[in-house]
Structure 1
Amino acid sequence: MKSNTTIQTDDAKRIAKRLLNHWKHKFEVAETDEQFSIFMPDATVILRPHIDGLIVELETTQEDGAHLQHVIVEHLNRMAQREFMVEWQHQA
């Protein structure tokens, strides 16, 4: 399953970096100038910061990724110290 969402924020790079640092003790991570990647056992999360938002891409082998989507958003909320309203788009 693949899904993505865009979070409206002026702090995208800082939030993505905080989440990467938070999860690097549990999962393999990678960082480039354009994106932050988190490699979980059954999913990959890509964070792409832009000037006015953070694009979040999720690819998972789970049949239903809703729980993982929720976990990602909850962690991003914590890293940003605010609540984001998020709507995920699903891809075939």
Structure 2
Amino acid sequence: MKSNTKIKTNEAKRISRRLFNHWKHKFEVSESDHTTFIYMPDATVQLDSHSDVLEVTLTTDREDFAHLEQVIIAHLNRMAQQEFDVEWLHQS
């Protein structure tokens, strides 16, 4: 299952960097100039930072992927210190 969402923000890089630092002690992570990967045991989160949007992609085989989506957004909300209203798009 692959799902993604786009979060409108002018602070995409900062938010992505904060989540990277928050999760680097728990999961394997990697980053380039505009892309961050977080490798969970059974899922991968990709964050693509643009000037006005943070694109979030979740790839997993877990059946409870909706729970992972909630965890990711909850953490992004915390890192941004604001609440994002997101809609996930799903692909098989």
Counterpart CA distance in 1 for 2:51 and 2:21 is: 21
| Residues 25-62 of structure 1: CA deviation (Å, up to 9, x unaligned) | 00000011120000000000000000101000000110
Which stretches in structure 1 are left out of the alignment for 5+ residues?
A: none
Structure 1 equivalent of residue 91 of structure 2: 91
Which stretches in structure 2 are left out of the alignment for 5+ residues?
A: none
Q: Percent identity?
A: 64
> 1:64 Cα deviation (Å)?
2.9
Counterpart CA distance in 1 for 2:74 and 2:7 is: 12
Structure 1 residue runs of 4 or more that deviate by more than 2 Å after TM superposition: none
* TM-score normalised by structure 2 residue count: 0.98
**What SS does structure 1 have at the residue aligned with 2:16?**
helix
**What SS does structure 2 have at the residue aligned with 1:90?**
strand
Counterpart CA distance in 1 for 2:68 and 2:23 is: 14
